[in-house]
Amino acid sequence: MLSFQFALDNMFKKALAHQSNATPIRSSARRQLLTSIYEQYPSFRPGGEDAVPDKELGKIILPEGVRCGSFETSGGVEGALYLSPDGDPLWMSFGRNSKELVPTLCLLSLDLPRPPLPILQIHYPLPPPLLAGAPLFIPAVKNLSDPTLLPDVPEGAVVAFVTSERNDQNVRYVGVGRLVAPGGLRGAVDRHVRNLQEGKDVDEGRFCEVLCIEGDHLWEMAPASLRTFPRPGLLDPIVPPQAESPEAGPSRPPTPVPAIEQLDVFDRPDPLSPSETSTILRLALLQTLSSFSPSYFPMPASLFYSSCILPNRPAYIPNEQRDDAVIGKSEWKKLAKWMKEASKEGLIKIKESKSEIIVQGYQAEHPSVRDHVPFVTIADEEAKAKKRAAREVAEHEQDLQTLSFGKGKGREMEIIEWWKPNDPFWEIAGLDRNSLYPATHLKSAFEDYIAKHNLIDPHNHRIIRLDDDLGRAIGIKRPDAGLTITRDEAFGKLRQGVTRSVSVDGVQRKGALEPIALTVKTRQGRRVVTHVTGVEAFGINADELADELKRLCAGSASVQPLAGASPKLQLQEILVQGSQVKVITEALLGRGVPKKWIKEGEGSAGKKK
């Protein structure tokens, strides 16, 4: 089984640090792999008249000509990928010589006769932090109120994530993860229900680590079309469904059951009545108007409803009742009827057209708006979850750095990059332009903005639409309606307009931090010398490091002013006899310099191509 220290982050959130050329495996090795796959995933074994024969199934899940190559993730985790002859990643393993094979999304997208992994359905749309590399938290799991739809998966097991865009029985795969909650899914749900019963707001923490997910770098190697399929029945649910007896039999004494099996009693609230739904929607409208900027009007009523009113519904509505708190289940039934009634009441100003009602503005001095008492909304609850997930991601990255630094001699330097947002856009996104923020805070503010303003393409979460404020911030004064751009490109343009500074072990200085450069050059007479530059920014004395390198390299090492640099900066470079990149790197790691801040220059003979 994969060691849990590898499961601290989405393995493929960032591009791979290294990937070897994949080479074809022998036929005998392929047969051994197939045998191992059938042992690890019994659902692949034929059973029944309509079962796919072993040979035919083998050609699907591990075709002839399959290739194998090693990789290393950005977090330093090593593993292997098994690719189809066309280069599609089908299976992956983590750790050296690991015999556990994990299916990829590319394999799950194939027309398989039976699902190889237990299926865990999560809410749609997917939480943005999940796509950014955060782990899965228990509130994102669907069907918590019905344990007959939850697989009884133990701690450490691999599961497949599915979701339903139409909230029906048709689902599609979106990711693969490993359950890390103590006691497995049964234990996590049991604790969740117990906390709800006791009225506790307890953060359960990470529930399931993400191994791969739709849109990550592994997915981009061969993006397939993720088909929808009817959600299959569970072979081993947490609570077996109760079979209806055709005849009333003799009464039997009740059988004691664990707490989780009481879910049907506790966690099934009655559906909201039309009157209750209307009251909730009116509260959400008042919450919106009391906190909304008039500059966003005019706006189509459908957009006003979906991007403003629905997120402002009260957070106290149970998750199972939130699908009832919609206009179609209210007393109005139709959005147009509600908007007209709100206009007659004087809350909003509308303009009717043939195809759409346009909300022109609202009456800020209306007594209902003026006297409205704000409450915690669904959007506030989701924003809190995003911040908690972002904090978890930051902690995971720190854990990975600590694990990868285990061979160092001392404490690793704490290096934090700070950004000062200069563009007015960031004030709209909720940040102060006079303050410094870690890079992750700007990313979170950007994600919150596009989510709040409904700019995310529902069919491709990597694509967003531009509104006027975001368009101006990235250099497009008046973006055309429907103009789109990728998330990464938009954030990259926003990032160009920030002022950067960095702190190294608490010492802050302006400007971006450049890595320490190690460059191997050949001088006259074929003398090989390794040049070391940039150590001053990390608080390292060049003379002291040169003395250490003389001893480690058993050769000469000298210090001289850096050519081309201003004398006022007092920058120096260290010249070490011979090609000594590996030894110098170990010395810098021993002084606490993180490996990501050590870079081999273009002239290095040992630099990887």
| Mean pLDDT on 202-222 | 81
Instruction: Say if residues 132 and 384 touch (Cβ distance below 8 Å).
Output: no
pLDDT in tens, 272-308: 888 888 889 999 999 999 888 887 888 888 889 988 9
Cα(276)–Cα(26) distance, rounded to whole angstroms?
66
> What is the average pLDDT across 12-21?
80
Quote the tokens at residue 233: 């029945």
pLDDT at 201: 62
Give the integer Cα–Cα distance in Å for 34 and 535: 51
Q: How many CB atoms lie within 10 A of CB 385?
A: 17
* Burial class of residue 476 (count of CB atoms within 10 Å of its CB; 0-12, 13-18, 19+): middle
Architecture of the domain made up of 514-600 = 2-Layer Sandwich (3.30)
**Looking at domain 274-373, what is its CATH homologous superfamily?**
DNA/RNA-binding protein Kin17, conserved domain (1.10.10.2030)
Domain boundaries in the chain? 4-230, 274-373, 413-508, 514-600
Q: Please give the helix or strand (H or E) that residue 313 lies within, else none.
A: none
Type of residue at 501? S
Mean pLDDT of the chain: 81
* DSSP SS3 for 317: coil
Q: Fold match between 274-373 and 514-600?
A: no
| pLDDT value for 410 | 56
First-residue to last-residue Cα distance in the chain = 33
The share of the chain scoring above pLDDT 90, in percent, equals 26
More confident residue, 246 or 221: 221
Q: Compute the average pLDDT of residues 83-100.
A: 89
pLDDT of residue 252: 45
Q: What pLDDT is stored for residue 263 in this prediction? A: 42
CATH class of the domain whose range is 4-230: alpha beta
Q: What number is the average pLDDT over the span 413-417?
A: 85
573: left (phi over 0), alpha (psi -120 to 50) or beta: beta
Q: Is pLDDT at 172 greater than 70 in this prediction?
A: yes
Q: Are 354 and 344 in contact (CB under 8 A)?
A: no
Amino acid making up residue 346: G
Task: Report which of residues 166 and 200 the model is more confident about.
Answer: 166
Higher pLDDT, 462 or 239: 462
Q: What is the pLDDT of residue 48?
A: 46
Question: CA angle at residue 334 from 331 to 339, to 5 degrees?
Answer: 95
pLDDT tens string 34-75: 999 989 998 887 554 445 557 788 899 999 999 999 998 877
Please state the three-class secondary structure of 349-370 as a single string: EEEECCCCEEEEEECCCCHHHH
- CA pair distance 89, 455, nearest whole angstrom: 31
d(CA 159, CA 556): 56
Residue 187 has pLDDT above 80, yes or no: yes
- Across 511-520, average pLDDT: 90
Paired with 529 in beta bridges are 521, 577
Q: Quickly name the fold that domain 413-508 has.
A: MDM2 (1.10.245)
What tokens were used for 597?
């801040």
> What does the pLDDT look like over 525-579, one tens digit per residue?
678 899 999 999 898 999 999 999 988 888 889 999 988 888 888 899 999 998 8
381 SS3 class: helix
CA distance 342 to 349: 8
